[in-house]
Amino acid sequence: MSHIFISYARPDESLASLIADGLREGGFEVWRDDELPAHRAYAEVIEERINGAKAVVVLWSAEAARSHWVRAEADTARGRLTLVQVSLDGTLPPMPFNQIQCADLKAWDGQRTAPGWRKLVASVTELAGSPAARAPSSRPATRSLSVCVLPFQNMSGDAEQEYFSDGISEDITTDLSKVSALEVIARNTAFTFKGQSVNVCDVAEKLGVTHVLEGSVRKVGNQVRITAQLIDGRTGGHVWADRFDRDLTDIFSIQDEISKAIVAALRLKLLPEEKKAIEQRGTKSADAYNLYLLARQYWLTGNIGDLRREERVMRICSRAVEIDPYYARAWALLAMAQSNLRYAFRCEVDDGFAAANTALTVDPTIAEAYLPMVRRLEDRQQFVEADDQMATALQLDPESWEVNKEGARVCMRHRRLTEAAALLEKAVALMESDVHAWARLVTLYHALGNVPAKKVAAESTIAEAEKVLAHDPSNGAVMSFGAGAYAALGEVDRAREWAERGVLVDPDNLSMRYNFACALAAFGGDKEGALKQLERSLRTAGAFHIAMAEADPDLDSLRDEPQFKAIMTRARKRLGIEEAVAAI
């Protein structure tokens, strides 16, 4: 995909080449069909390039006017409002294109001062932007070669197979990140382009990378077809491309081949330990791997605050580890789902410790497997040990969404609010749809007195909450996040509306009631209402939740209230917690 697409008839190829070279000299990125890859269908590539172009330059001539290809390309560009017309021999564009202005390059000899050329460049610049005006990427490069793996397209004809194509993209990203000489854009950044018709050169420019990998996955039964193309981010030209038709059982070898082919195409040398790391998949079972990808998709895209997400992940991962009892990543994901059900949703299930311990026995480098241990230790009031486990997780994977988010919660328990905000900022950068993380940022920015940032976080909370509620209107937890955000913005009526709806649709959600208490105390000025919600929420809470309430900045306005002190005293007494221990 390029900034400029050149459409022309074959007899005009020499002039098309001259015009393309002139635009390139002016700083534009140009594509024409002399760059067609040998392995792909002509029509498929042409459609892809036209749809991705910011300007389509159609070179009319007597031959071009008779060409069905040129007319079709011109019609596509006209519909997309990207059409720029040039006459090479004085031929006027045919109907209906004759209603649009046309630059005259009859007898043009390549002079950049010719009126027709200046008219062409002006039109291209208006559509594609001035090359000189394009802002360079603000991301500092850490390697001379860098790549972004765009989400592979799901070509299976079944939207339910999206998890598989997404998982392949994520795994290839992980593989390439193990190559020390190559900088790889994070998965969550790359996935912001999912579902978009993007210009690869624009992506490369925006992210400051030298190369972009794109591809597609078609999975039907036990057969899988994967296509992949490594593209030069500056020129839009193919550096490497291939297609793989295999049995599903060969999925790991396909991923290995793609990663190694990219390394070879970039003329990099794999160190022995890097080669071994790429070939390490964690399981040899294609069935277990397929289930893990499905569970991971639910975990990443399911509704935060909806316990059905955790329940699905728990069921699917349980089946994956039945198939392969040594699949550490499946054990770790199972552990996180169980931990959330136990501590966030207060369900009577295993707390994830056993699954996390199994994961770490197989692979002690999985950062997320330490998180269930942190929560168990906190619930047992072993806060020093919990902090040690959290520090280990952050050291192992500082780019993990889950690890940054949990690290922020631990920092909040210590009232290290600035540090907590920084970790949550990293978490929402990695997973922008995390409405819970945005809501926590509202709390932190309010406590830190950062009014502009609080406003942005509140607006982001509401925007992400509305997306969730559009297809899950019964998610009480998300309603509580939205209510708090509206309260933080001073929109009390909207906050009350969301709160009332949440209590109506999900009355037994105690975590939601805790969030309502926070909103009423911090932003609503309703201490009585906040205490009422808090008392109900903490009536059956464990030490994990009591420690959270002890440190939550949203509840600071209540701490001198006798009723608040009584609520906390009863909760501690019920659990046998000393006040000095709870006040972390």
pLDDT tens track for 336-393:
999 999 988 888 899 999 999 999 999 999 999 999 999 999 988 899 999 999 999 9
Rounded to 10 degrees, the C-alpha dihedral 320/323/324/330 comes to: 0
Residue 37 has pLDDT above 50, yes or no: yes
Amino acid identity, position 486: Y
Is 0.75 surpassed by the pTM of this model?
A: no
pLDDT at 126 over 90: no
Query: If you classify domain 449-584 with CATH, what class do you get?
Result: mainly alpha
Query: What CA–CA distance (Å, rounded) separates 584 from 576?
Result: 16
pLDDT in tens, 440-450: 999 999 999 99
* pLDDT of the residue at 31: 79
Q: Which two tokens stand for residue 481?
A: 């996040």
Q: Which two tokens stand for residue 246?
A: 């295999």
Question: Domain 145-281: which CATH class?
Answer: alpha beta
In which band, very low, low, confident or very high, does the pLDDT at 39 lie, cut at 50, 70 and 90?
low
Parallel, antiparallel or unpaired: strands 223-232 and 211-220: antiparallel
Whole-number pLDDT of residue 41? 56
Confidence of residue 217 (pLDDT cuts 50, 70, 90): very high
pLDDT at 428 over 60: yes
Single-letter amino acid code for the residue at 293: L
- pLDDT, residue 134, reads 43
pLDDT digits (tens, 9 = 90+) for 502-530: 889 888 888 888 888 898 888 878 899 88
pLDDT at 487: 92
Between CA 469 and CA 459 the distance in angstroms is 15
Average pLDDT over residues 175-184: 87
> Residue 309 belongs to what H/E stretch?
helix 307-323
Q: Is the pLDDT of residue 43 over 70?
A: no
Digit-coded pLDDT (tens) for 238-276: 889 999 888 888 888 888 888 888 988 888 887 788 777
Most confident of 296-300, 410-414, 472-476, 541-545: 410-414
For 6, which DSSP code? E
Q: What's the pLDDT at 583? A: 39
Give mean pLDDT, residues 146-161: 87
Q: Single out the residue of 1, 72, 73, 64 nearest to residue 31, CA to CA.
A: 1
Tokens of residue 368, six digits = 């997320």
Amino acid residing at 51: N
Per the rule left: phi > 0, alpha: psi between -120 and 50, beta: everything else, 310 is: alpha
Q: Break the chain into its structural domains and give their ranges.
A: 4-133, 145-281, 283-363, 449-584
Please indicate whether the domains covering 4-133 and 449-584 agree at the CATH topology level. no
Element (H, E) at 574: helix 562-575
Percent of the chain with pLDDT over 90: 35
pLDDT band at 44 (very low <50, low <70, confident <90, very high): low
Q: Which of 145, 182, 186 is nearest to 169 (CA)?
A: 186
In tens, the pLDDT along 538-576 reads: 888 878 888 889 899 999 999 999 999 999 999 888 888
User: Both ends of the chain: CA-CA distance in Å?
Assistant: 55
- Which pLDDT value is given to residue 458? 93
Q: Residue 584: what pLDDT?
A: 38
Pick the CATH number of 283-363 from 1.10.10.1100, 3.40.50.720, 1.25.40.10, 3.50.50.60: 1.25.40.10
The least confident of 156-165, 255-264, 404-413, 456-465 is: 156-165
SS3 512: helix
Residue 393 structure tokens: 């997780």
For the chain, give the longest Cα–Cα distance: 94
Position 135 pLDDT exceeds 60: no
**CA proximity to 377, closest of 580, 549, 537, 542:** 542
What is the model's pLDDT at position 579?
59
d(CA 341, CA 363): 24
Whether cis (ω within 30° of 0) applies to the bond prior to 96 is: yes
- Report yes or no: 436 and 467 within 8 Å, Cβ to Cβ: no
Q: Are 15 and 101 in contact (CB under 8 A)?
A: no
Mean pLDDT taken over the chain: 86
Contact criterion met (CB below 8 Å) for 267 and 231? no
Q: pLDDT tens for residues 99-114?
A: 788 988 888 877 777 7
**Has residue 188 got a pLDDT over 80?**
no
Token duo for residue 117: 């050329």
**Span 4-133: which CATH code?**
3.40.50.10140
